[in-house]
Structure 1
Amino acid sequence: MLGPFLDPTAIALVVGGTLIAVVLRTSLRDLAGAAGALGSLVRRRFDATPLLDQIAALGRIARRHGVMALDRSVIADPDVAAAVAAIVDGAGPDEVATIIQHCRRARIEKQLGAVEVWTGMADVAPAMGMIGTLIGLVAMFTRMTDPSAIGAAMAIALLATLYGAIIANLVAAPIATRLKRRTRIEAFERTRLEGPLVALAARERPRTAALTNVADLVSVA
């Protein structure tokens, strides 16, 4: 059933041309990110609630056992881990806010890089389909004296446009849209982490400073 719609030459022209164009216009880091982002499409959308619960638990640990006890806590999320490590080191609220904002921006920029790769593929694929169509038409006109060769050249011309449209509208563009939506949701969710982490830093900063002063006095003695 699909036999008439499959042409290896047209596939090679459109798919190969699209991939080459994307590789030439994209850094290796963004290419790797775009490929890795496909895995996120089958996972649940990011929800900050479990991390907020963990931050609250870390606050209770700090009250009971001191801020240094947080250094032994296992924190899977790298952004929260970086902020907690700064709190343990005595960072103030402003420093922690800067750290968490920087981590969030870096994460979102990386995800947007992946979105741009798929968006670029959606833009390039129709152009590659048109190039394949022109190649097929040229081949067809140069073989007008051979009726048996006209059909194959015409198939390349028509199917190349079809493949470009399919890649752009049924593959690349939907992936880019879904990734952009997930990025927007995660960006919003991660803004919820800043307040509790800043509050934890504000509460623990005086205790950390006091411990540092005691350590300094002991070292002097």
Structure 2
Amino acid sequence: MNPLATFADSVAAAIVLGGVAVASLVRFPPGLMIRAIGALRVLGRRAPRLDAEVEQIAALGRIARKHGAMALDRSVIDDPDIALAVRLIVDGEPPEAVEAAILRARDARIERHLAVAEVWASIAEAAPAFGLIGTIIGLVRMFTAMQDPAVIGPSMAVALLATLYGALLGNLIAQPIAGRLRRLARAEAFERERLAAPLLALARRERPRAGMAA
């Protein structure tokens, strides 16, 4: 007999997982829940480094000095924040508008990352509570059927395993995921700080030229 089968109980699992799922869907919109599940694919990645993006901004600056800001419109830019700033620079927007747009885009991205981490933090908080609920349900079943030995064992299993499942889901799975996502969000926020200064410098340098061209 598989020793792990001793720790398997479908009723306890249904109470904990079902309760956590319902509580999460009540608290968060379905779209955010889907994003939280999708975020699992980034857990194994290293903290982001935007060295290539910083180099691209420097290259864009060289292109602008040589050919003017309008030449930037033909550049292939993968990073959405850089693409947004370049589009505003090409349109002749003032540096203040470029800076505000960069900060808004950065803050919105980090807020999305933190919202996903909050989902997993909420799961970590709710799982032990539903484990306790499962324990209470199992004990109630056991005490109301003390005259039936066939019910006592399964009811006690539900009571104990629900607590185990809740503790494992909350402390071994959800909480580490939430912590990892928060660390990645903070690391990206720090890296994106590196993009703001060179983009703003490019906007300030090209603004007079854009105004003259207009």
Amino acid at match of 1:189: E
> Which region of structure 1 is more displaced relative to structure 2, 173-182 or 27-36?
27-36
Alignment match, 1:86:
88
Alignment match, 2:160:
158
Instruction: State the alpha-carbon separation in 2 of the partners of residues 149 and 32 from structure 1.
Output: 39
For residues 22-74 of structure 1, the C-alpha deviation after alignment (integer angstroms, 9 at most, x for no partner) is 11111223213212221221223211211100000111111112211111111
Consecutive aligned runs of 4 or more in structure 1 exceeding 6 Å deviation = none
Aligned partner (choices 190, 200, 203) of residue 188 of structure 1? 190
Aligned pairs for 1:25-174 (under 5 A) are 25-174=27-176
Alignment match, 1:216:
none
Aligned partner (choices 4, 11, 14) of residue 12 of structure 1? 14
Aligned partner (choices 201, 204, 208) of residue 206 of structure 1? 208
Amino acid at match of 2:58: A
Amino acid at match of 1:62: A
Instruction: State the alpha-carbon separation in 2 of the partners of residues 28 and 144 from structure 1.
Output: 42
User: Is the CA contact (8 Å cut-off) linking 1:18 and 1:121 kept in structure 2?
Assistant: yes
Instruction: State the alpha-carbon separation in 1 of the partners of residues 39 and 45 from structure 2.
Output: 10
SS at match of 2:46: coil
Q: Give structure 2 stretches of 5+ with no counterpart.
A: none
Instruction: State the alpha-carbon separation in 2 of the partners of residues 86 and 167 from structure 1.
Output: 46
SS at match of 1:2: helix
**How many pairs were matched up?**
212
User: Is the CA contact (8 Å cut-off) linking 1:33 and 1:113 kept in structure 2?
Assistant: no
Percent of aligned positions that are identical:
55
SS at match of 2:34: helix
Instruction: State the alpha-carbon separation in 2 of the partners of residues 39 and 78 from structure 1.
Output: 21
TM-score by length of 2: 0.96
Following TM superposition, by how much is the alpha carbon of 1:92 offset from its aligned partner in structure 2, in angstroms? 1.8
